[in-house]
Amino acid sequence: MNLVWFRTDLRMADNPALLHALETGESTLALFVVHPEQHQHHGEAPQKLEFIKAHINDLVKRLGQLNIQSLIEVAPWYSDVPALIEKIINQHQVKKLFFNANYWLNEMKRDEAVIQMSQQSNVDVKTYHSQYLLPPGSIRKSDDSMYHVFTPYKNKFIEVLKQRYQLPLSIPSEIDADVKLPDLLPEEFNSPQWPVGEKAAVERLKKFAKNNDYQQERDFPAIDGTSSLSPYLAIGVISAQQCLAHVLKQQGEPAFNSTWVSELIWRDYYNDLMYEYPRLAMHKTFKPNAVDHWYHSPELLDQWRNGQTGFPIVDAGMRQLLAEGWMHNRVRMIVASFLCKLCLIDWRQGEAHFMAHLLDGDLASNNGGWQWSSATGCDAAPYFRIFNPTTQSKKFDPDGSYIKKYVPELRDVGVKEIHDPKSNTRSLAMYPQPVIDYKSARQQALAWYKDNPVN
């Protein structure tokens, strides 16, 4: 009996653990384990757990069509997993265990314990790479050290990727099977914006790869100019390899150098950094001597969290996060710069708030983005690069459509005023006054960063 352990790979296509298990021709059992306490301990969004449960249920049904039986188990903590899998091994006479590798500290410790237990039980363990375009550690400098600047990393990455690129593994052929399904997980996820299922994710990918003008539209939050695939990538409903394959199919080899593929490479880069420097998973700054004492202002932090800063583009983004569990990437940069560089509040407060609400919450990418914004991270934005929220708003939401969608009290405000409403307009619209003065806050930030070096 084979056992395939699904984790951040909730799909059938391009899933090497599943497909190699099926190639053996032996009976195969699928295992799904949810970790509610561990999930909560990591500060991840409750709706993300519901999204995971919904996709487990969907995948269990589809595996049933291949005559593959599934087990759905609950293990509160990662440390509970080895004993759980040992029990399954004994009950089902498992001879081979297949799973795709994870690369973060707690997950690797869990997997090492499972591998050790399995080997003691004379179970052959097969692990595969599937979560990123390249395994961590694939891209090194000539002295075998990790790149600390993204551009040379990306250039080397593309060179290696072209040499190693292979088409994604195909999906198994579904058969008309009648398998008794296990008791499915109770789920509360219901969002038209994020339809559940591998097929829905692939259709979204195909549509984006065929019709997108990402380079021109990606920075405008009112436009459907991004792929919106990040929630599916975060839990492995689709793979980065599938994303690359669909873009290559539409654009050919030039796609390797496209802006969207560059964003996929950023995802690998942040994962590589967390793999190389586990301290990043422990709330440490990447730069060892970076500033690490920040202003403490609970009231200002709550105003930011709740979208009540009086800066429309910031408030629109924060309200979108609360309402949808997602935020446009350009707006993520704006709200992060506002918190860290204009309010001088610890980036970890923003990192935690994002993880607590994001459907696409990803430890490495979220940490990398926040440390980039705060100037404490690897190849971060320099301390003096401070986004002006009003200028950003005028440039990337020129007619105020995005603002009006999420800040409805401003929907009747004219285009000339909506980015920086005047006091009388704010009063009539019941919209808050700005919580900071941008010019003075910027000068304060520049002086503060000079007194508290980030290098």
Instruction: Establish whether 294 is a catalytic residue.
Output: yes
Domain extents for the chain? 2-128, 132-168+198-276, 298-451
Q: Are 387 and 397 in contact (CB under 8 A)?
A: no
**Which two three-digit tokens encode residue 325?**
């569990």
- Residue from 5, 304, 326, 370 carrying the catalytic annotation: 370
- Residue from 5, 104, 347, 372 carrying the catalytic annotation: 347
Give 278's Cβ-side CA count (13 Å radius): 7
Residue 263 marked ligand-binding: yes
Architecture, CATH, for domain 298-451: Orthogonal Bundle (1.10)
Residue 138 marked ligand-binding: no
Instruction: Establish whether 448 is a catalytic residue.
Output: no
- Residue from 67, 86, 102, 266 carrying the catalytic annotation: 266
Please choose, from the candidates 306, 257, 333, the residue with its C-alpha nearest in 3D space to the C-alpha of residue 435. 306
Instruction: Establish whether 329 is a catalytic residue.
Output: yes
The per-residue DSSP string of 143-190 comes to TSPPPSSHHHHHHHHHHHHHHH--PPPPPPPP-----PPPPPPP----
Please choose, from the candidates 71, 57, 64, 22, the residue with its C-alpha nearest in 3D space to the C-alpha of residue 177. 64
- Residue from 86, 107, 187, 263 carrying the catalytic annotation: 263
- Residue from 104, 194, 294, 304 carrying the catalytic annotation: 294
**Which two three-digit tokens encode residue 411?**
């929907």
Report the distance separating Cα 311 and Cα 27, nearest Å: 59
Residue 334 marked ligand-binding: no
- Residue from 102, 329, 388, 452 carrying the catalytic annotation: 329
Residue 226 marked ligand-binding: yes
Hey, which CATH number is domain 132-168+198-276, 3.40.50.9100, 1.25.40.80, 3.40.50.300, 1.10.1060.10? 1.25.40.80
Residue 325 marked ligand-binding: no
Residue 127 marked ligand-binding: no
Hey, which CATH number is domain 2-128, 3.40.630.40, 3.40.1440.60, 3.40.50.620, 3.90.1260.10? 3.40.50.620
Tell me the β-bridge partners of 31: 5, 71
Residue 383 marked ligand-binding: no
pLDDT in tens, the chain (455 residues): 999 999 999 999 999 999 999 999 999 999 999 999 999 999 999 999 999 999 999 999 999 988 899 999 999 999 999 999 999 999 999 999 999 999 999 999 999 999 999 999 999 999 999 999 999 999 999 999 999 999 999 999 999 999 999 889 887 776 666 677 888 988 888 888 999 999 999 999 999 988 778 889 999 999 999 999 999 999 999 999 999 999 999 989 999 999 999 999 999 999 999 999 999 999 899 988 888 889 999 999 999 999 999 999 999 999 999 999 999 999 999 999 999 999 999 999 999 999 999 999 999 999 999 999 999 999 888 888 999 999 999 999 999 999 999 999 999 999 999 999 998 899 888 999 999 999 999 999 999 888 876 66
Instruction: Establish whether 289 is a catalytic residue.
Output: no
Torsion of CA 143, 145, 148, 153, to 10 degrees: 70
